């Protein structure tokens, strides 16, 4: 279950310094056969030559009210952040109200690190005044400071998104895969790309540490500025519903927006599925400050059809893509190879046909691929060069095979939504004549209504469903397992497989591995690329790919010992 995305709290879960035992490691950071991208340090997340922005300009852009100071201070800022521990000298500290504590509580830390000014609300101003008389730096007061933070951040970093082609991808499933396909396609077409997403942030191929699918506005616009310094001309970014609702992408100029699909997720944050949809629609709606200039919409579901109508009403240039419905961009002649790779023909709006292939299995990945190609075309990229680029893409933790010499198929996938679980099971069933075991759970402190649906999706598709822990977070793991199991048990016994509940994710994975016979499939779903498991507020190192590989190795070693 992903961490996305209540972000950021004043101190996330601490990391257990221990680590899981393992033999030969599985590389978690990149796809098989690719070279690991070099990693940039935290200092590389800020531009090296930030402009100086006057407080007068910030006040004018945000309609904030300045509370001046009695002493002579600087009237310029060179950065902005909302985490006091990340403030640098000359920054504007955005002290926002939080769910449990007000950001102004940490003003002392921000000032010690060199904050030159503070943005907050009236409650925050009172907290600052209680600590400091007179005020040590100017304070900008706004009734809703988060609502203007994106605009201010963009201004402070020189409005960098205006100088690049920014492509935003939103939807429930497929954002990460589509972003990887797009990055590869754009690179093949000669673009210098940046990537911002769930798995990683990359600047011209170099990785930057990241925590959220879509960073908070100050970090996002700083990244844009860094990318511009590095000569990036095109940015591909995943845009989460949290980011759109909380204003994280405010101030961003989107050249192209792409929509994948919609299914139940994040109803712990959104009031309803309709509210969730309307959050996504901010990228396309005419009354939104961040609506895209050009829209590419997958219309394989009713939500996509609605989104295309919204974008059209907004006056955007709109094209549609689909593998199953009438649309501008379509596919034909799809075939699947023994290794799961697929060949198909992309048909563009004028009828021209382009042979294409992807390494990724599943019809839903053909939908992701045609959406990526159509998005490249909307960005002015040659279609054939884009198609050449997507042919070799692998995505970490997305239908990722674990090969240890075993005689059954072992796969790790990020599927953590009922529809995604159903889709990946269907894909794997099409690739084997054997049985399928599915290991899954559900995340704590997240959408509780999804838990029974996850269990039902697994029970309907699997010959063996092993229910276990995902990221329990602050909740009782047993209670979450029980909720998932209730959904599984509610499935008609005539159509469901065997159901087991195993506490402890590593034990559950080992159980499924021991069950498998020649030609079977073991699918470990829910965490994909993640390298930690959060239990009772502590994040323990845990990588499904490594744990699955270790379980297979132990089985092979045991069988070798028996036959030697």
Binding residues: 82, 171-177, 213-214, 240, 248, 446, 470-473, 526, 530
Cα–Cα distance for residue pair 396/414, rounded to 1 Å: 9
Q: Which of 216, 218, 191 is nearest to 205 (CA)?
A: 191
**Burial readout 341-364 (b: 16 or more C-beta within 10 A, e: otherwise):** ebebebbbeeeeebebbbbbbbbb
* Cα–Cα distance, 289 to 62 (Å, whole number): 14
Apex CA 299: angle with CA 294 and CA 301, to 5°? 140
β-strand partners of 520:
none
The bridge status of strand 193-196 relative to strand 201-203 is antiparallel
Q: Please report, in range form, the residues annotated as the binding site for meso-2,6-diaminopimelate.
A: 446, 470-473, 526, 530
SS3 549: helix
Q: How far is residue 564's CA from residue 220's CA, in Å, rounded to a whole number?
A: 57
User: How far is 56 from 51, CA to CA, in rounded Å?
Assistant: 15
- The span from the CA of 535 to the CA of 322, in Å, is 40
Question: Can you say which residues are annotated as belonging to the binding site for ATP?
Answer: 171-177
Report phi then psi at 196, rounded to 5.
-130, 120
Instruction: Collect all residues with Cβ–Cβ distance below 8 Å to 47 and sequence separation of at least 6.
Output: 157, 222, 225, 226, 228, 229
* Phi and psi torsions of 508, nearest 5°: -65, -40
Distance CA 57, CA 54 (A): 5
- CB of 321 closer than 8 Å to CB of 329: yes
Handedness of CA 547, 549, 555, 561 (dihedral sign): negative
> Tokens 């799809």 appear where?
334
Ordered alpha helix ranges (H), 290-362? 302-313
Taking the C-alpha atoms of residue 354 and residue 341, their distance in angstroms, rounded to an integer, is 17
Residue by residue, what is the 3-state secondary structure of 227-254?
HHHCCCCEEEEECCHHHHHHCCCCCCCC
Query: Element (H or E) spanning 301, and its range?
Result: none
Are residues 323 and 367 in contact, defined by beta-carbon separation less than 8 angstroms? yes
Category of 104 on φ-ψ map: left (φ > 0), alpha (ψ -120 to 50) or beta: alpha
């Amino acid at each position: 279950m992903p961490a996305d995305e209540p972000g950021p709290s004043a101190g996330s879960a601490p990391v257990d310094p221990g680590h899981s035992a393992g033999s030969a490691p599985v590389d978690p950071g990149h796809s098989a056969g690719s070279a690991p991208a070099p990693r940039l340090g935290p200092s590389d997340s800020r531009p090296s030559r930030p402009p100086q922005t006057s407080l007068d300009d910030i006040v004018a852009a945000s309609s904030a009210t300045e509370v001046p100071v009695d002493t002579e201070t600087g009237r310029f800022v060179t950065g902005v952040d909302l985490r006091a521990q990340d403030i640098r000298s000359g920054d504007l500290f955005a002290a926002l109200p939080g769910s449990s504590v007000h950001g102004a509580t940490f003003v002392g830390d921000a000032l010690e690190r060199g904050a030159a000014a503070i943005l907050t609300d009236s409650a925050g101003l009172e907290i600052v005044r209680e600590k400091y008389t007179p005020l040590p730096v100017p304070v900008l007061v706004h009734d809703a400071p988060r609502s203007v933070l994106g605009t201010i951040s963009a201004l402070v970093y020189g409005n960098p998104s205006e100088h690049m082609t920014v492509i935003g991808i939103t939807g429930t499933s497929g954002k990460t895969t589509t972003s990887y396909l797009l990055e590869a396609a754009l690179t093949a077409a000669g673009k210098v790309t940046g990537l911002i997403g769930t798995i990683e942030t990359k600047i011209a191929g170099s990785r930057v540490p990241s925590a959220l699918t879509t960073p908070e506005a100050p970090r996002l616009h700083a990244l844009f500025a860094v990318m511009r310094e590095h000569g990036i001309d095109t940015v591909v970014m995943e845009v989460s519903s949290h980011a759109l609702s909380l204003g994280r992408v405010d101030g961003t100029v989107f050249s192209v927006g792409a929509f994948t699909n919609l299914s139940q997720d994040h109803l712990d944050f959104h009031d309803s599925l309709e509210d969730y949809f309307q959050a996504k629609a901010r990228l396309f709606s005419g009354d939104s400050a961040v609506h895209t200039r050009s829209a590419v919409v997958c219309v394989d579901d009713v939500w996509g059809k609605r989104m295309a109508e919204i974008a059209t009403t907004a006056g955007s240039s709109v094209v549609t893509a689909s593998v199953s419905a009438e649309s501008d961009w379509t596919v034909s002649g799809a075939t699947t190879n023994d290794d799961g790779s697929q060949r198909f023909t992309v048909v563009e709006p004028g009828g021209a046909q382009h042979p294409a292939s992807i390494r990724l299995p599943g019809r839903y990945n053909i939908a992701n691929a045609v959406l990526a190609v159509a998005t490249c075309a909307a960005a002015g990229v040659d279609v054939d060069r884009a198609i050449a680029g997507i042919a070799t893409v692998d995505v970490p933790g997305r239908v990722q095979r674990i090969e240890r010499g075993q005689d059954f198929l072992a796969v790790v996938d990020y599927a953590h939504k009922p529809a995604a679980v159903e889709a990946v099971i269907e894909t794997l069933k099409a690739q084997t004549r054997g049985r399928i075991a599915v290991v899954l759970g559900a995340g704590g402190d997240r959408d509780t209504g999804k838990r029974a649906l996850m269990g039902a999706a697994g029970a309907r598709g699997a010959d063996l469903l092993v229910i276990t822990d995902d990221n329990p977070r602050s909740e009782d793991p047993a209670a979450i397992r029980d909720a998932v199991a209730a959904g599984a048990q509610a499935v008609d016994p005539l159509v469901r497989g065997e159901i087991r509940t195993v506490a402890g994710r590593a034990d559950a994975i080992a159980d499924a591995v021991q069950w498998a016979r020649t030609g079977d499939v073991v699918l470990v779903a829910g965490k994909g690329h993640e390298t930690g498991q959060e239990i009772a507020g502590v994040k323990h190192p845990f990588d499904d790919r490594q744990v699955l590989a270790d379980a297979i190795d132990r089985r092979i070693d045991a069988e070798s010992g028996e036959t030697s």
